[in-house]
Structure 1
Amino acid sequence: MEPVRIKCGFANGIDIGAMGTRGGLSLGWNGNFLIMLKSFSSFHINVEVHDNECGGCWWLTGFYGNSNERCRNDSWNLLRHLNYDQSTPWVVLGDFNEITKYFEKKGGRLRSERQMKEFCKALEDCGLNDLGYISRWFTWERGRFVATNIREWLDRGVATLDWMSLFPRYQLEHLSHSFSDHCPILIDTLGQEGMIGVTK
């Protein structure tokens, strides 16, 4: 994962290797941050950011939702577990492997209403709000021909209201993908001065 992070332009980072040919997480950043690793697994990287710009402390989690639908609830329970200190501003970036509404998917079979509701409930339980995005709407794509093309908004950023208040000028961008079928996510906290990216 380190070569991917460096190719995306992030000199600093924490990389979790893939198990076999799939997975792997990378959390990269530029800027003058003091980052303290709190916990990690094959499905998350959780850090505490001591931010010199805002003079405060906040949490950042790089997240990977289980690609196996039967294990997706384990991912939502992990997210709830990571939400143990509700007083600290928190932002979560990553590939959740799930959508919240039907229009976030184009092509392929319909997503289960139950699956989407369980994802939305986990975000609600954790007080996490979608950060929106600029650039392309989908972050994952498969199939080169119109008849077989599937596009989905699987990668996103979500945050607590406290984090959004701390960085009112934040902007989240879906970058172009060339080495993966997922788009890397770039979050700009301070107008090009403080940027953090997550790739999978």
Structure 2
Amino acid sequence: MDVQNIYVAVWNARGLNNPARRSAVRIEVDDAQASVVCVSESKLQSVTQFDIAQWFGARFDGFVYVPAVGSAGGVLVAWRSEDVRVLASRVDRFSVSIHIVKGDGAAWWLTTVYGPTCDSLKDEFLNELRMLRAAIVGPWAVTGRRFTWSNSRAEPTLVKLDRWFASVDWEELHPDVSLSALTSSISDHCPILMSTAVASHFGKRFRFERFWLKLEGFMDTAKVL
């Protein structure tokens, strides 16, 4: 594995106030060996270090968040200082941004957003992104809600709600970046795992995805194979 590689897990958890969702997030974080976790729609008005240790593991010792308004919204970013250094952070109305670096690599900005569902706030949200672009210097990546959603039916409806965007200089900094969708049994949003570098000397590991069983024709195809 590349010593400069950073694994970032991104998830619209639809509320970390739900014990089942917290347990699912912990499993995904452990399986992915993520160094940074970005959660949108946390639905949390306050977060403590004790909470972070319970939800993600004791090795996550840094975090920053936007509190939910009532039971809506909320953004949380947590990281393991033994893996990455966060040089700076900023909290805005709809987003959390951290300036991150690993080892002697180049630093870059990571912004996690929760875009408003209310039409009257969309202009303010877009203006916040424009303001961030003007304020942030250097490579920049943006992820979060409203930027793969499944209704978990036999013929699923797939909508691109959660995405990863990056500036040109960020892509030049990480030419071997990898994005993959993880499974989720308790949220209709699929977690995303981003790896800044893929080690070429490792073969690609096969991973069975539980949601395949719900896809029409899967069992017939599996029997043929």
Task: State the TM bucket, normalised to the shorter chain.
Answer: 0.5 to 0.7
Q: 1:60 aligns with which of 80, 104, 110?
A: 110
Please name the residue that 2:63 is paired with: 14
Paired with 1:171 and 1:150, the residues of 2 have a C-alpha distance of 24
Amino acid in the other structure paired with 1:140: W
Q: TM-score, normalised by structure 2?
A: 0.56
Q: Structure 1 residues 20 and 8, CA, compared in 2 at 3 Å: closer, same or farther? A: farther
Query: In the alignment, is residue 155 of structure 1 matched against residue 162 of structure 2?
Result: yes
Q: 1:40 aligns with which of 91, 97, 105?
A: 91
Structure 2 residue matching 1:181: 3-state secondary structure: coil
Q: Structure 1 residues 178 and 36, CA, compared in 2 at 3 Å: closer, same or farther? A: farther
Structure 2 residue matching 1:84: 3-state secondary structure: helix
How many Å apart are 1:164 and its aligned residue?
A: 0.5
> In terms of mean alpha carbon deviation, does 23-32 or 80-89 score higher?
23-32
> Which of the two has higher C-alpha Rg?
2
Paired with 1:18 and 1:176, the residues of 2 have a C-alpha distance of 25
The alignment covers a number of residue pairs equal to 148
Q: TM-score, normalised by structure 1?
A: 0.62
Query: In the alignment, is residue 80 of structure 1 matched against residue 130 of structure 2?
Result: yes
Paired with 2:72 and 2:159, the residues of 1 have a C-alpha distance of 19
Identify the structure with the greater helix proportion: 2
Q: 1:151-190 to 2 correspondence within 5 Å?
A: 151-190=158-197
Paired with 2:94 and 2:161, the residues of 1 have a C-alpha distance of 15
Could you tell me whether the CA contact under 8 Å between 1:25 and 1:42 is conserved in 2?
no
Measured against aligned partners, the alpha-carbon deviations of 1:22-55 in whole angstroms (never above 9, x if no partner) come to 323232456721014421245211000123152x
Paired with 1:6 and 1:53, the residues of 2 have a C-alpha distance of 29
Same amino acid, percent of matched pairs: 29
How many Å apart are 1:76 and its aligned residue?
A: 1.1
How many Å apart are 1:84 and its aligned residue?
A: 2.1
Please name the residue that 1:112 is paired with: none
C-alpha RMSD over aligned residues: 2.8
Q: Structure 1 stretches of 5 or more lacking a match?
A: 99-138, 193-200
Structure 2 residue matching 1:94: 3-state secondary structure: strand
Structure 1 segments (4+ residues) deviating >6 Å = none
Paired with 2:152 and 2:190, the residues of 1 have a C-alpha distance of 15
Paired with 1:87 and 1:21, the residues of 2 have a C-alpha distance of 33
